[in-house]
Copies of this chain bind each other. A is one copy, B any other.
């Protein structure tokens, strides 16, 4: 452990992943050394219209660029690595991750033309890194993607442990057990603070083993008289391995559809994380040459995502693959809150096509388990690490709070539990923790190539436009005497069906004309005033007539 410096302290905060699910990014700073854990993205909320993805505000890191020693990645999920291309553009620092994680990162950086200029260091669970005064070590965990690790940061002030996403799977698919011994050893050295995954803090008991899903899938494959379609998360390499194994054991061939599924299968098998017997994989075009009971179709779309392969198949709109009556479709996932209706609609469509569909929460269907530990596992982690201070992370507020109660129940002092929001800091000095000053934080919205250029005003306008559309009112005035030379013309979009509303629009036109004529008679001729009057009069009239409030955009041209 590096020497402790007079007056220095350790500062811990999150730029994402607390009070929300996604865009995970956690920061530990000691003096002039900053270590970042993960750099994720999240998908937009309902009110973020037109936004593609959301990343953390990294103002603090950019302002302290010279202190950032590196970004440590716990695993290869989008909500932990998806923000990297944006972060690295502003902050060219080394990136550390295990082999599969780095494989997925590299595909991402290549697409963003950042591969050459990014220093990438592949680590294992046994690696030790000296990042300025902070030493980083790792421990193996179980999660719904292989090669996931927790991080132990040895600062001169003490040990800070970050679990990453984890569960305890006592019968893991790849025989990579969570390293209980190492966690216990870290715990026995005395841990100053633990940051632990709260995703399933509301769920009692233990999360089931991934292996239970494999057995269930094989049973489904065996019973199915025709083709089996399995939709799951592309990144769930364990699940994909079990699907391939179940197919092999039931003498079925596997074809892969969906861009992200094709990508992951290719990267994971290249790196040796997928074991696919020769001749098992076939092209989608070859499916029809095989008997129906010799085929498995591995697909994206387990969340009913509108553009995914499964959804397109369900709508008979997939280029290469149709659902046939008698097919069995397995949705090997639980809907993420907010996606239930999408999944439900996909199930309905599949059934209308005559498919037999296995769906529903994993606890009911048997064909899915979560990648996150439930309450008993969270307590196990707390008791292995036995931290002085506890900061629940990765979860919405109610999950963080429940995780805090779990920590209390295993003996962590209530005052030593910090429920933080993004930007809140916890400072620890001489073994004493307190809340410190906030750092800048928030959501940076990505829309196309624009990073952060869509803010509240643009979103408010999109919301308005989406509700009742827009009316543009154009008029050309004479520079000399202010007389109307052309117009007013009214053009509407998203307001009413124009062909059936000619009367309304004619009246609106007359109203604008009268308003302008009246104003001119009163010698009102500042444009701003003309526009405001037209907007008010027209808005009032339209609301009376339709109870709608379209955006009204008056434009004055002058010649």
Interface on A for B, CB 8 Å cutoff? Answer: 19, 45-46, 49-50, 202, 337-338, 340-341, 344-345, 347-348, 351-352, 357, 360, 396-398, 401, 447-450, 453-455, 457-459, 461-470, 472, 474, 476, 485-487, 489, 491, 493-497, 500-501, 545-548, 551, 553, 555, 557-559
Question: Judging by beta carbons under 8 Å apart, are B557 and A489 in contact?
Answer: yes
Given A472-B553, A555-B489: A497 touches B360 (CB 8 Å cut-off): no
Question: Judging by beta carbons under 8 Å apart, are A458 and B50 in contact?
Answer: no
For residue A17, give the distance in angstroms from its CB to the closest CB of chain B: 14
A–B Cβ pairs within 8 angstroms, 15 of them: A19-B348, A344-B398, A345-B396, A347-B398, A348-B397, A453-B497, A461-B494, A463-B466, A464-B494, A465-B493, A470-B470, A474-B474, A491-B555, A557-B557, A559-B559
Closest to A478 in B: B559
Query: Which residues of chain B come closer than 8 Å to A202, judged between CB atoms?
Result: 360
Question: Judging by beta carbons under 8 Å apart, are B351 and A398 in contact?
Answer: yes
Partner of A344, one of B352, B396, B454, B501: B396
| Bound-complex Cα distance A450 to B550 (A) | 14
Closest to A484 in B: B559
Query: Which residues of chain B come closer than 8 Å to A555, judged between CB atoms?
Result: 472, 474, 489, 491, 555
Closest to A47 in B: B306
| Bound-complex Cα distance A497 to B558 (A) | 26
For residue A156, give the distance in angstroms from its CB to the closest CB of chain B: 34
Question: Judging by beta carbons under 8 Å apart, are B348 and A396 in contact?
Answer: yes
Question: Judging by beta carbons under 8 Å apart, are A468 and B50 in contact?
Answer: yes
Query: Which residues of chain B come closer than 8 Å to A396, judged between CB atoms?
Result: 344-345, 348
Partner of A458, one of B19, B455, B472, B494: B494
Partner of A401, one of B49, B351, B461: B351
Question: Judging by beta carbons under 8 Å apart, are B453 and A462 in contact?
Answer: no
For residue A361, give the distance in angstroms from its CB to the closest CB of chain B: 10
Question: Judging by beta carbons under 8 Å apart, are A458 and B453 in contact?
Answer: no
| Bound-complex Cα distance A352 to B420 (A) | 11
Question: Judging by beta carbons under 8 Å apart, are B462 and A466 in contact?
Answer: yes
For residue A111, give the distance in angstroms from its CB to the closest CB of chain B: 14
Question: Judging by beta carbons under 8 Å apart, are A558 and B469 in contact?
Answer: no
| Bound-complex Cα distance A46 to B49 (A) | 12
Closest to A548 in B: B448
Given A337-B340, A449-B547: A457 touches B357 (CB 8 Å cut-off): no
Question: Judging by beta carbons under 8 Å apart, are A469 and B474 in contact?
Answer: no
Closest to A463 in B: B466
Question: Judging by beta carbons under 8 Å apart, are A337 and B348 in contact?
Answer: no
| Bound-complex Cα distance A32 to B39 (A) | 69
Question: Judging by beta carbons under 8 Å apart, are A465 and B469 in contact?
Answer: yes
Q: Which of A49, A449, A494 has the most CB of B within 10 A?
A: A494
| Bound-complex Cα distance A341 to B453 (A) | 26
Partner of A497, one of B337, B455, B557: B455
Question: Judging by beta carbons under 8 Å apart, are B476 and A467 in contact?
Answer: no
Question: Judging by beta carbons under 8 Å apart, are A546 and B450 in contact?
Answer: yes
Question: Judging by beta carbons under 8 Å apart, are B458 and A497 in contact?
Answer: yes
Given A448-B547, A493-B461: A344 touches B337 (CB 8 Å cut-off): yes
Query: Which residues of chain B come closer than 8 Å to A50, judged between CB atoms?
Result: 466-469, 494, 548
Query: Which residues of chain B come closer than 8 Å to A337, judged between CB atoms?
Result: 340-341, 344
| Bound-complex Cα distance A31 to B49 (A) | 51
For residue A559, give the distance in angstroms from its CB to the closest CB of chain B: 4
For residue A230, give the distance in angstroms from its CB to the closest CB of chain B: 18
Closest to A479 in B: B486
| Bound-complex Cα distance A331 to B105 (A) | 42
3 nearest A-B residue pairs (beta carbon): A448-B547, A466-B466, A461-B494
Q: Which of A450, A467, A546 has the most CB of B within 10 A?
A: A450
| Bound-complex Cα distance A371 to B302 (A) | 30
Partner of A469, one of B347, B458, B476: B458
Query: Which residues of chain B come closer than 8 Å to A463, judged between CB atoms?
Result: 466
Given A338-B340, A340-B337, A449-B545: A476 touches B557 (CB 8 Å cut-off): yes
Question: Judging by beta carbons under 8 Å apart, are A397 and B351 in contact?
Answer: yes
Query: Which residues of chain B come closer than 8 Å to A338, judged between CB atoms?
Result: 338, 340-341
For residue A468, give the distance in angstroms from its CB to the closest CB of chain B: 5
Given A469-B465, A548-B450, A559-B485: A458 touches B495 (CB 8 Å cut-off): yes
Given A348-B398, A465-B470, A547-B448: A553 touches B493 (CB 8 Å cut-off): yes
For residue A56, give the distance in angstroms from its CB to the closest CB of chain B: 19
Given A465-B469, A466-B463: A453 touches B493 (CB 8 Å cut-off): no
Question: Judging by beta carbons under 8 Å apart, are B472 and A462 in contact?
Answer: no
| Bound-complex Cα distance A462 to B360 (A) | 33
For residue A483, give the distance in angstroms from its CB to the closest CB of chain B: 10
Question: Judging by beta carbons under 8 Å apart, are B449 and A397 in contact?
Answer: no
For residue A314, give the distance in angstroms from its CB to the closest CB of chain B: 11
| Bound-complex Cα distance A495 to B449 (A) | 12
Closest to A499 in B: B457
Partner of A491, one of B464, B466, B553: B553
| Bound-complex Cα distance A464 to B357 (A) | 34
Query: Which residues of chain B come closer than 8 Å to A547, judged between CB atoms?
Result: 448-450
Given contact pairs A447-B546, A470-B470, enumerate 19 new A-B contacts (beta carbons under 8 Å).
A348-B397, A449-B545, A450-B547, A453-B496, A453-B500, A458-B496, A461-B469, A461-B493, A462-B465, A465-B470, A470-B493, A474-B474, A474-B555, A474-B557, A476-B557, A487-B557, A491-B555, A557-B557, A559-B559
